[in-house]
Chains A and B, each alone.
Chain A
Amino acid sequence: MNLEYILNRLLQTLLIMFMVSVLTFMFVSVLPGDPVVLLLGPESSASMTPEAIERAREDLGLNNPIPVRYAKWLGGVLTGDLGTSIRTRQPVLTAIRERAPVTLQLAAMAWVISTVIAIPAGVVAALRRNSWFDRAATMMATAGVAIPNFWLGILVLLLFSVKLGWFPASGYVDPFKDPIQGLRTLILPSMVLGLAQSATIMRQTRSSMLEVMGHDYIRTARSKGLTPYAVTVRHGLRNALLPIITVLGLRLGNLIGGSVIIETVFALPGMGRLAIGGIFAQDFPVVMGVVLVIGLTVPMATLVTDIAYGIADPRIKVSRSAS
């Protein structure tokens, strides 16, 4: 594993995280509208006298030049101060801490489900190209990419909760406190989220396997008399996995984005619903807190993916990261 590669990727990630913080700050400070109204809420600011608004502006440091304000804001972010919710007066970080486990559990379960379904399906589809399985899997993947996950969520909810009554229709129980009930509340939403993701991963796995299985070393492995399992798994899948790892890592952003919608369908109290509630209540600090935390999480996940890729493929050098 090339240390220079890791350092290079780390530096790039830090740069992206810095730019994410700049972009988020711009939403708070540069966009149209009075930042006092955005930060204190329209109701609070409407009831304030002009003098009180001016005092609040001074207290919030809004009269300082933008770079100074950014530095102060970043200092606060780095020490865990993401502001205070206008609606609940709760620190934004506390609100996010309470909600993040739900989103992470949902995304993690969906990730596992999508991987478990997609990789075997993609491998078999590639090995039996043009068979009925390949056609069915490809068709399912095409449909899976096109189906809106919130509609799939409604259909699943209707069948498994309303008609069959197998799973609760809404609500959340922490699986670490009550594993059975917790899984029952999470299984449907994570299945819906996972199925939508598995379509893309399955297509990538199939495509990767088709490419790898056409290489000379696979023919050599076969001619050496290796078992089909050894040829497929040890020589084929191992090499085909490299681009799949990238897709799996990059899907994290989609999983978190998708969970925002799925949380709404299944009434799960995650970060997505926190942000949506924030938009409706014009609770700007909460919305931006969620946006910032998610915006910082995705580059970190990409970094881990790239390092995993680098470990899996020793040919990866610094040059890859330049693109």
Chain B
Amino acid sequence: MTNISQPLSALSGTVDEGRGTPNVLRRLLQQRMVPVAFGVLLVVLICAVFAPVIAPADPVATSPLQALKSPSLDHPMGTDQLGRDILSRTIYGARVSLLIGFLAVSLSVIVGVPLGLISGYFGGMVDNIIMRAMDTIIAFPQIILALAIVAAFGGGMVQVLIAIGVGSIPPYCRVTRGQVLSVREEDYIRAAQSMGSTNVRILLRHILPNVMSPLIVQASLGVAFAILAEAGLSFLGVGVDPKTPTWGGMLSQALPIIRRAFHPSLFPGLAIFVTVLAVNVLGDALRDVLDPRLRGRS
């Protein structure tokens, strides 16, 4: 006997069976490099959360007598030109990177997904207005938009978050809209409409679940992009408060002294590279698991 209480989307076949969280996780972990990427991200996460416990020294305490010391047992990553411990600063730097990475993507998703749902579902004038607004945001290279926002509002964590988050809304909106367009005419949507479901219910209960897979992939790659963008802004000196240790800020301070010492620019750069690489590997693997049609294509 058919269970009439199950959601209509379950009858459509568009949501794969076996895409439950444990199943996806198992298939993810079977992929090469994914356990390594998970491991790297776990280390970065632990650094970010437990920085005050893990860091061997105060990341902002200067010590001119210890300036530009090469890596040693006392300072495994050496010290910078103000004698600050680079290992401690790198550990603390994970906080800003991860926080902005995840919050900026959350902002983009919270704004972009509903806009994409509305745009794709209602079409017509609403669709046109939303899409042209997205085109306008895309017209500004992200770093330029961020500079405009920082110039207007000043630097700081919230401003950087908004600058990166707003600039990243269009991909989420477009991905969502594309998925909505592909399922909008499906029988189960028509069935829901004929049964008197409200638009909000149809969007949230029947369409949103079908949009989730590409969105998760987009969001995972978005975190990597946001980490790079934050580092870029901090490198330019227009990111979060310069006193806060950030990987981009550390590179910015290391640039004028590269003739004297290389290690201050090595470790923060490596930290950004390895973190972003791990997020990207995870994003690519998620795409392979959630959308097998794309496997091996990129």
**B138 interface residue (CB < 8 Å to A):** yes
A32 partner residues in chain B, CB cutoff 8 A: 153
Contact call B280/A264, Cβ cutoff below 8 A: no
Categorize the interface residue count of chain B: 35 or more
Q: How far is the CA of A256 from the CA of B142 in the complex (A)?
A: 10
A257 touches B144 (CB 8 A): yes
Q: Is the CB of A146 within 8 A of B144?
A: no
Q: How far is the CB of A202 from chain B (nearest CB, A)?
A: 10
Interface of A is mostly: helix
What is the CA–CA distance of A260 and B238 in the complex, to the nearest angstrom? 12
Q: Which residue of B lies closest to A142 (CB)?
A: B280
* Contact partners of B145 in chain A: CB under 8 A: 291
Do residues B151 and A278 form an inter-chain contact, with CB atoms below 8 A? yes
**A27 engages B152 (CB within 8 Å):** yes
Most buried by B among A146, A253, A261: A146
B237 near A20 with CB under 8 A, answer: no
Q: Is the CB of B273 within 8 A of A20?
A: no
Q: Is the CB of A151 within 8 A of B140?
A: no
Does A7 have its Cβ within 8 Å of any Cβ on chain B?
A: no
* Smallest CB separation, B30 vs chain A (Å): 18
A116 contacts chain B at the CB level, 8 A cutoff: no
Verify if B276 is at the interface (C-beta below 8 Å from A). yes
| CB atoms of B152 and A294 under 8 A apart | no
Contact assessment for B144 and A290 in the assembled complex, using a CB-CB cutoff below 8 Å? yes
From B131, B254, B273, name the one whose CB has the most chain A CB atoms within 10 angstroms. Answer: B273
Q: Are A298 and B151 closer than 8 Å at their CB atoms?
A: no
Q: Which residues of A contact B277 (CB under 8 A)?
A: 142-143, 146
In the complex the two chains form, is A299's CB within 8 Å of B141's CB?
no
> Are A151 and B273 in contact (CB-based, < 8 A)?
yes
Q: Which residues of chain A (278-300) have a CB below 8 Å from chain B?
A: 278-280, 284, 287-288, 290-291, 294-296, 298-299
Q: Determine if B238 and A276 form an interchain contact, defined as CB atoms under 8 angstroms apart.
A: yes
Contact B297 A146 (CB under 8 A): no
Q: Which residues of B contact A20 (CB under 8 A)?
A: 136, 139-140
Which residues of the partner chain A approach B296 to less than 8 Å between Cβ atoms? 129, 210
Q: Which residues of A contact B153 (CB under 8 A)?
A: 31-32
Asked if B259 is at the interface of the complex by the 8 Å CB criterion, the answer is yes
Query: Which chain B residue lies CB-closest to A157?
Result: B258
When the two chains form the complex, which single residue of A27, A157, A162 contacts B148, counting CB atoms closer than 8 Å? Answer: A27
Query: What is the chain B residue whose CB lies nearest that of A291?
Result: B148
1/0 contact trace for A153-172 toward B, CB 8 Å? 01101100010000000000
Judge whether B232 and A261 touch: CB under 8 Å.
Answer: yes
- Taking a contact as CB atoms under 8 Å apart, the answer to whether B269 and A154 are in contact is yes
- B251 interface contact, C-beta 8 A: yes
Known: A27-B152, A32-B153, A279-B147. A158 touches B258 (CB 8 A): yes
| B131: chain A residues within 8 A (beta carbon) | 323
Query: Contacts A16-B135, A20-B139, A260-B143 known; A150 to B280 CB distance under 8 Å?
Result: no
Query: A66-79 toward B: CB 8 Å interface, digit per residue (1/0)?
Result: 00000000000000
The complex places the Cα of A146 from the Cα of B281 at a distance, in Å, of 10
Q: Does A8 contact B (CB under 8 A)?
A: no
Interface contact B231-A148, CB-CB below 8 Å: yes
Report how many A-B pairs have Cβ atoms within 8 Å. 155
B144–A162 touching, CB < 8 Å: no
Q: Which residues of B contact A31 (CB under 8 A)?
A: 152-153
Say whether A256 contacts B272, CB under 8 Å. Answer: no
Please state if A16 and B136 are interface contacts (CB–CB under 8 Å): yes
B144, B255, B273: which has the most chain A beta carbons within 10 Å? Answer: B144
Residue A233 at the B interface, CB < 8 A? Answer: no
* B224 interfacial contact with A, CB 8 Å: yes
Q: Is A211 an interface residue (CB 8 A)?
A: yes
Given known A16-B135, A27-B152, A279-B151, contact A150–B251 (CB-CB < 8 A): yes
**Bound complex: CA A155 to CA B297 (Å):** 31
Q: Is the CB of A147 within 8 A of B258?
A: no
> Bound complex: CA of A288 vs CA of B149, how far in Å?
10
Give chain B residues whose Cβ lies under 8 Å from the Cβ of A146.
224, 273, 276-277, 280
Chain A neighbourhood of B150, CB < 8 A: 279
Expressed in whole angstroms, the minimum distance between the Cβ of A115 and any Cβ of chain B is: 18
Asked if A145 is at the interface of the complex by the 8 Å CB criterion, the answer is yes
**Contact across chains for B141 and A298 when beta carbons are under 8 A apart:** yes
Asked whether A19 lies within 8 Å of B238 as measured between CB atoms, the reply is no
A31 to B178 CA separation, bound complex (whole angstroms)? 33
Query: Which A residues are in CB contact (< 8 Å) with B259?
Result: 162
Counting CB contacts under 8 A, is B132 at the interface? yes
Contact B151 A287 (CB under 8 A): yes
Q: Are B138 and A288 in contact (CB under 8 A)?
A: no
Beyond the given A142-B277, A279-B147, could you list 9 further A-B residue pairs with CB under 8 A, ordered by the A residue number? A12-B132, A19-B135, A19-B139, A148-B235, A210-B296, A211-B297, A261-B143, A290-B144, A295-B139
Query: Can you show 22 pairs from A to B with CB atoms below 8 A apart?
Result: A17-B139, A19-B132, A19-B135, A23-B136, A27-B149, A31-B153, A146-B273, A148-B235, A151-B272, A253-B140, A260-B236, A275-B147, A276-B147, A279-B147, A279-B150, A279-B238, A291-B140, A291-B151, A294-B141, A298-B138, A298-B139, A298-B140
Which 7 pairs of residues, A with B, have the shortest CB-CB distance? A257-B141, A151-B269, A146-B277, A19-B136, A146-B276, A257-B143, A287-B151
